[in-house]
Structure 1
Amino acid sequence: MPLTEPHDDHLPQEDPVAVDGAVGDLDNSDTPADSGGDPAVEPEPTLPEPVRQRIVALTATVLPTLPADEVPVPLRRVAKFAPNRRARLGAPAIAAQLTADPLFRQRVTARVLADAGDLGAAVVEGTAPAAADPVEVAALAYLARPRGWRELIDASGAAVRAEADSAVVAELVREAEQRATRAEHDRAVARVEAEKLRDELARVREELGQLREESRQLARTLRETQTRERKATELLATERGRAARASADVDAELRRARARLAEAEAAAGVARASAKEARSVDDARLWLLLETIGQAAVGLRRELALDPVDKLPADFVADAFAEQPGTAPAGPAARARDTDDPARLDQLLALPRAHLVVDGYNVTKRGFGEMSLEQQRKRLITGLGGIAAQTGDEVTVVFDGAERMHGLPPAPRGVRVLFSRKGETADELIRRLVRAEPAGRPVVVISSDREVADGVRRHGAYPLGADSLLRRLARS
């Protein structure tokens, strides 16, 4: 194909000697003269696509090396492009200028031949080494145009076409080999699949025989089942008759039972009326007895001149830490066994006006000793607040401490928090609280310390282990 549409017959011819004598002679060396002596303009040869691309690439490479005044106006902007964009974007303008401007082509040729070295000199002489790239030779021949340059371009085109044909033939051969390889592979796979199918067919035939035998057995079983079903249907009809008769008997018995029930309800009504009347008499007697006891208690309180109290016995112990506790008389025998059963704790707290005394650190270190002391106290006091709210009992918790802790949160309602003073342990304070209570009041002491349990038991308290309270708190 031509480099671009030829336009040499419309452009004035420059004097080639003005650029380079040798190149100018090469440009006109192959131009025949007509009868009038003027050079004849021959059409541009048809260039193979690789040759055309190489010519544009060579021109784009030397374009920035030309002086600015030697670069045609249409290519001055192309000359400023980056190298990789110059040949790609400026190819149409470069091809058109090479075809239309022989002087520009000669200037480009001079620099291209200088860069080509020995190959460029060989092309100028009209010969080309056998080992040279035919595309490079054709591109240099098109630019330099020595004698026989058209033959060089034609030879290059033939070589390019031969290479293309060889590549096509090689590709066809490679595809044929691939198809043959695939066909051989497919035949091998088909053989394997055929073996598998034969094995599968044998297995299916064997399974078919088994299924036929199973079918015969199922048919025999079905016949036996149908026979049993007919017998069962006959038995069912017989049982339905019996059930109908039994149902009639049951209905008759039910009617008789309803009649007896009506008679019993009437007798019960009479009995309830009699019991209500007897209960009214008993209620009157009980009310009279309680009224007599109440008036006697009021008279006794008036006779003893007892005023209502604002403090409980434990409050006096809490307010009198510095006082030496007296030796209280030994109370009655122990009123309960030492146990960790939370149900026993619930029974004791259900007693009227019960007082719950807790050995604080003995419980917290057993139940949640991984916490800090502050967190242990807070958790225990919060749980005791819930128990006090549920039972309405008096609750006192005692902690060891040389002095009262500062910054404590307010205790919940119904919970008294005490710290032993310096020189006194929580165990001693607990025993003082128990001794301060009047004989007969239920006092429950929570501590797993055996000495504490034995001491409070001698004064009539109910000692329970720390686990009973921990389980009670966990349940809440």
Structure 2
Amino acid sequence: MTEAGTAASSAATTLPEPVRQRVLTLAAHALGQLPATDIPAPLRRFASFAPAKRAKLSASVLGPILETDDHFRKLTAFEVRREHPELGDAVADGVPIPAADPVEVAALAYLLRPDDWEQHIAAAAQVPVENPRADEEAVHRLADQLDQARTETRQVRERLREQVNELKAENVTLRRKLNDARQKITGLQTDLEQRTKEAETADERVDAARADVERDLRKLRTRITELEAIEHAARRTAGQERELASTRTRLLLDTLLEAASGLRRELALPPGGEFRPADTVAGSEPEAAPVGRTAPEDDPALFDELLALPQVHLIIDGYNVTKTAWPNSPLHSQRQRLVTALGALVAQRRVEITVVFDGAELSGPVQLNPPRGVRVRFSPAGVIADDVIRQLVRAEPPGRPVVVVSTDREVADSIIKLGARALSASSLISRIART
């Protein structure tokens, strides 16, 4: 073991420069792959450097350690062989590689230490080294460039020094502002804590008030439930009392009716009919008078009296009224204004109203929205509105009050013969104006 170490040391001192540089490059690269515990202490600070920088800066330390520390050399050789498996296996097994670079083979042999490693180093020493001739002009040019670079470096250093001074002054200002900001933040935090405490206290008061309100609300709901139960019981009692009173009244009325029927049977009275004793007296009978009192057709009081008759039916000649009231308006506007006003009249008097318009005036379908209680009819093709009005009057049973509103004398005369009452359009217009 001592002889091997002596031989290694002797060989290391005679390593050709290219082989030594390649050994340091391979070892520096492998240094970055080793665990920190396997790296000698003098080399640990270089392990984190880049490979090129690590090889340059650690050369003075790495070479002697490889010469003296056999364990570290073997670890390095293992990593180098793992990075160069083919060439490393060939060198370790003593397999000749004619095409391989002698310097590369010698560097691997130095680290792996096969039996013929010294021969590989000797072979690498025989490789001629090219020594280029120094070029004086290039040297002078490089010297001038170096001087210029030094001058520029000095100028840059001075500018950087000025910038550093400015940054220091700015740093002092920023530190002062930072201290002021910190003081303000401290004050704001104190104020925030105080306001937070006040808000928490206010929340507690609000929660207490909400609890009181909810408690009062529950009491009120309970009271409302009790009152509703009392009201329901009262209504039930009142309904029972009304039903009892109705039952008593009905029983009393049935008793009276049955007593009257029994009395009629006992007296053998014949049932009443339309014939009366006065009908036996002969004489001339007058013609039937129109419905309602005799008065001018445009009398406003007469119109209200006729509307007050029970089950009265008011039939209106539509265009006869609208062209009298709104002669300058379009027909569709006239129709809508009339039925709208009649809707208000129905709401007041609860009468049956039928409005008849002449269908010959139409050029297409009619869009009309009559209010509730107002019946609207258009005369069919080939039939005038006057004929429809007469048909409506004939359709009513004898004795029902029928009032026709039309200024047309032919219509008025014909419906009077049928037993209806005729009023002028102006009377309806005046009545609508008062609605």
Tell me if both proteins adopt one fold, taking TM over 0.5 as the criterion.
no
TM-score (norm 1): 0.30
Question: Given the two structures, how large is their TM-score scaled by the length of structure 2?
Answer: 0.33
Higher relative contact order (CA 8 A, sep 6+): 1
